[in-house]
Structure 1
Amino acid sequence: MNSVCSTSCLRRLGVMSVRSLLPSGPRSHVRGTVGHPGLQTALRQTRGLPRLQAEAVKPQSHGCTWSGRGRKDNVRQGLGETFQASLGLVLLPALAPGSLGLSEYRWIFEDLVSVGSVGVGLPGLVSLGIFLNPMFEAMPRIRKLGHVGDMPMLPYSAMASMGSVWTAYGLLLSNPAVWTPNLCASLLGVYYMFVYCRHCPDLGHLLTGHVLKVLATMLFSAAAYGFLPHDLALSMLGLTGNVMTIFMFGGPLTAIRTVVREQNTRALNLGFTCAVNLNCILWFFYAYFMLDDPYIYLQDGVGIILATIQLGLFARYGVQRH
């Protein structure tokens, strides 16, 4: 109905414009001069007028663009708005990343314990507890036996390497809550490696393997922090830390397969599994709700899943001592 009215109106506009271009005179004179040069010129000038007016009027009356590119832009914009609306229905604003960035309780996750301008929050304190665990279990046993036995060096070299990567990452963020516990992890990892090498007869193999890789990772972290642009350094360090974490997930996955195959939990440590689960939950909460940092919360989200599976195995098969 609107299009019919618009067409009739445009036709009238065309006729009126033609009449405005004709020479003034009686109506009979206009009718009798169909071949009049002024009339032919007016008709040629107004032949495209309705089309131009339609292109100008239709977007105003219907709120859309009639060109092909305009239609694609409108469709794309509509799909984007629909997706955002659907995401808003699925994910409440209170559960969105960074929704607690201005929370009054943020100090619990950043400055629970502070010395000057350097603070450590609850996630960092739990991480420090995990990093200090070998100091009271594995290291005294190695010194007492005089050799490392069948203990692997990978946990300590991985601690030193990943600690150096996340220390540089936290320094780029200017966030002591991130770099302080990871700096401690890097230093403790180096110390554990030193004790391990002193009590290991196959020292040459370790130097070509773990030690050189740790040194290379530390040099890479220092170079990224000191020489790369800020955003590029953050991306490279964040991706490197996540790749290393994925490789480290091989240990828990192997332990899960062993438990399922043997149908007992001798390959797992209940206390350590609970501590790792708590650590991942705290870091995920802090990085997701307060920092909105996917480089941190993605890896801890995967860690939560693996630790929860291990706790489920304890519930299924019980707790067996080593």
Structure 2
Amino acid sequence: MDSTMFIIGIIGNIISVLVFVSPIPTFWRIVRTKSTEEFEPAPYVLTLLNSLLWLYYGVTKPDGLLIATVNGFGTVMETIYVVLFLVYAADHAARVKTAKLVATLDIGFFGFVFATTRFAIAGLDMKIMVIGLICVCLNVFMYGSPLTAVRTVIATRSVEYMPFFLSFFLFLNGGVWATYAILDRDIFLGVPNGIGFFLGIIQLGIYAFYKNSRVKSQGSDEAPEEGWQASSVSLLASHASGHGGNNVSIDV
């Protein structure tokens, strides 16, 4: 591997790790209040799926170690987040919604992709292509997942539930992994991370526009915690690597 590309890949891994750990303040709040409040589970469920698929891509692709390692870490972190969502769901309906998303996407869809590419598709190149195409589609959803909080932000004119750090690190992640993809000539990494970089700019713009008009949460005596609080992708968070790299998971 070219030394420049390797260095950029390491930087991408570091940023991807930051993406994966960025929801920690949000989940500390959830554990402390014992409620998921208005936080959305979709970004974390999508980011978990994204991490699983990029992990599979990295393991399948020769020289995909950087992609596999960071997404392995992401899989562990996102699994913890999803479990906490199930444990501290604000109500039964929220718990059922989260469980259905996990069963459908993280278990059902990933299981289908794994079984199909493992046993029904012959040839390594074809396997990599199919897995890569699926990862590209998921990555785009993951990068855009923090936008699920936009309606709430606009309605309340508050960014309490807008994930600033997640959006910021997804923005950096998309830029770094898009650069890596150009050097590696990996279209599966380049397309989603380039789009992620663009979506990150939009998300940061929305945050900047509303950040000075945040208001207290209804019924709360405390000012909202800074920045975060949001649904997160990776998305795919909350904060989904690119991985294709990350993001590498995250997308990657």
Q: Structure 2-normalised TM-score?
A: 0.70
The answer to whether 1:209 aligns with 2:101 is yes
Partner of 2:204: 311
| CA gap 1:224/1:108 in 2 versus in 1, 3 angstroms | farther
Q: 1:297 aligns with which of 190, 197, 200?
A: 190
The answer to whether 1:242 aligns with 2:124 is no
The answer to whether 1:157 aligns with 2:45 is yes
Partner of 1:194: 83
CA contact (8 A) 2:52 2:110 kept: yes
Partner of 1:55: none
When Rg is computed on C-alpha atoms for both structures, the one with the higher figure is 1
CA distance in 2, matches of 1:142, 1:259: 19
CA contact (8 A) 2:181 2:190 kept: yes
CA contact (8 A) 1:225 1:233 kept: yes
Partner of 1:183: 72
CA contact (8 A) 1:126 1:275 kept: yes
Q: 2:11 aligns with which of 122, 134, 138?
A: 122
Partner of 1:62: none
CA contact (8 A) 1:167 1:180 kept: yes
CA distance in 1, matches of 2:207, 2:157: 10
Q: Cα distance, 1:214 vs. partner?
A: 0.9
CA distance in 1, matches of 2:35, 2:193: 34
CA contact (8 A) 2:38 2:161 kept: no
For 1:105, what is the secondary structure of its paired residue? helix
CA distance in 2, matches of 1:240, 1:172: 14
| Aligned-pair Cα RMSD in Å | 2.8
Partner of 1:105: 4
% identical aligned pairs:
22
One-letter code aligned to 1:303: G
Q: How does 1:45-60 map to 2 (within 5 A)?
A: none
Q: 1:140 aligns with which of 28, 34, 46?
A: 28
CA distance in 1, matches of 2:189, 2:40: 27
CA distance in 1, matches of 2:96, 2:204: 38
CA distance in 2, matches of 1:157, 1:210: 6
Q: Cα distance, 1:281 vs. partner?
A: 0.7
CA distance in 2, matches of 1:257, 1:150: 12
Query: Which has the larger share of helix?
Result: 1
| CA gap 1:242/1:315 in 2 versus in 1, 3 angstroms | same
Q: Deviations over 1:107-137 (max 9, x none)?
A: 3134xxxxxxxxxx11011111111122x31
CA contact (8 A) 2:44 2:82 kept: yes
CA distance in 1, matches of 2:99, 2:107: 10
Q: 1:274 aligns with which of 164, 168, 174?
A: 168
CA distance in 1, matches of 2:33, 2:194: 38
Q: Cα distance, 1:293 vs. partner?
A: 0.8
Q: Cα distance, 1:248 vs. partner?
A: 3.7
Q: Which runs of 5+ in 2 are unaligned?
A: 215-223, 225-252
| CA gap 1:189/1:255 in 2 versus in 1, 3 angstroms | closer
| CA gap 1:305/1:258 in 2 versus in 1, 3 angstroms | farther
- Report runs of 4+ in structure 1 exceeding 4 Å deviation: 252-267, 313-322
Q: Which runs of 5+ in 1 are unaligned?
A: 1-100, 111-120
CA contact (8 A) 1:169 1:179 kept: yes
Q: Deviations over 1:191-237 (max 9, x none)?
A: 22122212224244433333332101331343255333312221221
One-letter code aligned to 1:163: S
CA contact (8 A) 1:164 1:221 kept: no
Q: Cα distance, 1:295 vs. partner?
A: 0.9
CA distance in 2, matches of 1:205, 1:257: 19
Deviates more, 1:271-280 or 1:299-308: 271-280
For 1:297, what is the secondary structure of its paired residue? helix
Alignment: residue pair count:
209
One-letter code aligned to 1:172: T
CA distance in 1, matches of 2:32, 2:149: 27
Q: Cα distance, 1:310 vs. partner?
A: 3.2
Partner of 1:66: none
